[in-house]
Amino acid sequence: MSLRLAFAASLTFLFACNGGSGDDEEDVPTGPHALGSITITEAHASSGGQSTSSVAVGFIPDAATAPARCTRDVAGCQIQLTPDCNDTCGDHEYCTFTASCTAMCKRACDASCGTGEECYFPTPNQPACRQRLNFDAGSIQISGTTAPITLFPPYSFNSVDTGSLFLDGAALSVTATGATVAGYTPFSETFTATKLLRSNPRLDQLGIPEVFGTGAVPIRWVAGDDKVVVTATVVGNDNKVGTLTCKADDSKGSFDLPREAINAALDGDTLRTMSLALTRTEKRTIYDVATMGSIAGVQIQPTGWVELSTMSTESATLQGCSGDEQVCGNSCVDVSYNEQNCGSCGRACAGGDVCEQGTCSGESSCTTCMNSSSGSGGTCGACSANASCSALRTCIENCTTTTCQNTCSTTHGQAAVTLYNEWAGCICSNACDVECASVCN
């Protein structure tokens, strides 16, 4: 099995329609609100080495305008859905989901806008350009991190390879000076960093039978007391791609990724590659930050929520068997040419027979195939249905010399010989060409 590792990290305020201070869903208020997120993420490869970090900040004026995330539940995991409009979208349209997760064609906002401008629809289906007005919270300073962080709108923070921006359980604070045109008023809040996540045993040490077999994939980590999500991106032999996310109990330190969910994400394809990511999150949500200002054509909710999050992610990508190989027992087997696993795991060829192109070939396999194909209703059954041809076949099979075979042909007549030759051609060229290759050649 080959292994490719992937990693990334970031600090981000997350957008969500539901949440609560301390993530207690029972305390979540209801009603329209603006939505802000500040997220710090640390990420590292399962094999170890230096981690990377990043910070993401964003604010939207109305949470109701956030894109729909459409999934379906399989064995307790959420499989990401892809909209399918059955090729009905026209020029300047794209396929997307409605808020109720119904696929629909939507007009693309594709006007050619200049620097500092954005595309919008002053009237339906008529894109135009206007000056871009940021909906923000002014400059943002984050303290308590391993390096000072100050961001200005429009917020951008490139990933850095200098390790984690936060320590386990660190006390962090964020101060926003407030928007100057439209956005959030000033706020200052504190929150607690999560603990860095470590798998145990490491994700990259998962074996082929565990990942590409038939059972659940066992995932283990050093237990904590925050929120853990398992994300798996799966790729099939026919390049089908699926993504599933599963909530796990951090305090247990273990989760068995259901094979049922993996198979559902592949939609009939066979698993070739799996990328696994474990993410631990600690989040605090503030529900009562005021907003200010206005933007033409945009609804700004007067009350704003802000989610302050830290995340620690560990990831690894695992490559399964290649080509015609399948997982048989504890190893990859080329079922095209393996006598003990010919065509599929556990399908052994009879003694002396060989495996060719996933089919057993040799005396035993030829006899079995010939009898099956030559019987009543078989692919090559015309000879068996004719008494003279059937007798000729029996006569020839008991011969050991060419002279004997010629005598059989003379005795049973040309019509029987013609049917016999058609039967032999059917066996060797069609029904049992691989099984009887050594006999026919």
For residue 162, which of 151, 172, 147, 148 has the smallest C-alpha distance?
147
pLDDT the model gives residue 11? 30
Ranges 46-50, 249-253, 267-271, most confident: 249-253
C-alpha–C-alpha distance, residues 149 and 155, integer Å: 12
The predicted structure's pLDDT at residue 26: 55
Q: With pLDDT > 90 as the criterion, what percentage of the chain qualifies?
A: 69
Whether the pLDDT of residue 14 is over 80: the answer is no
Q: Is the pLDDT of residue 371 over 60?
A: yes
Cis preceding-peptide flag for 201 (omega within 30 of 0): yes
> Which pLDDT score, from 0 to 100, does residue 76 have?
95
- pLDDT tier at 2 (50, 70, 90 boundaries)? very low
Residue 23, pLDDT score: 47
- Is 129's pLDDT higher than 90? yes
**Distance set, CA 419 to CA 79, 105, 370, 403, 410 (Å):** 58, 62, 15, 20, 14
Token pair recorded at residue 71:
């999934």
- The answer to whether 70 and 35 are in contact (CB under 8 A) is no
Q: Of 299, 248, 279, which is closest to residue 39 (Cα–Cα)?
A: 279
Residue keyed to tokens 């990328």: 275
Phi, psi of 396 (to 5 degrees): -65, -40
Would you report the helix, strand and coil content of the chain in percent, each value rounded to 5? 20, 35, 45
* Sequence-distant (≥ 6) Cβ neighbours of residue 24 within 8 angstroms: none
The whole-model pTM stands at: 0.73
Q: Looking at the chain, how many residues does it have?
A: 441
Interval 56-72 mean pLDDT: 90
> Has residue 18 got a pLDDT over 60?
no
% of the chain residues with pLDDT over 70: 94
The lowest-confidence range among 9-23, 131-145, 148-162, 175-189 is: 9-23
182 vs 291: CA distance, rounded Å: 8
- Residues with Cβ within 8 Å of 439's Cβ and at least 6 positions away in sequence, in order, are 363, 366, 428
pLDDT in tens, 345-357: 889 999 889 999 8
Which residue shows structure tokens 């066992």?
218
Q: Which residue has the higher pLDDT, 377 or 286?
A: 286
Per-residue pLDDT, 46: 95
CA distance 211 to 371: 41
Task: For residue 99, name the pLDDT band (cuts at 50, 70, 90).
Answer: confident
**CA dist., res. 81 & res. 364, Å (int):** 49
Give the pLDDT confidence score for residue 330 in this predicted structure: 72
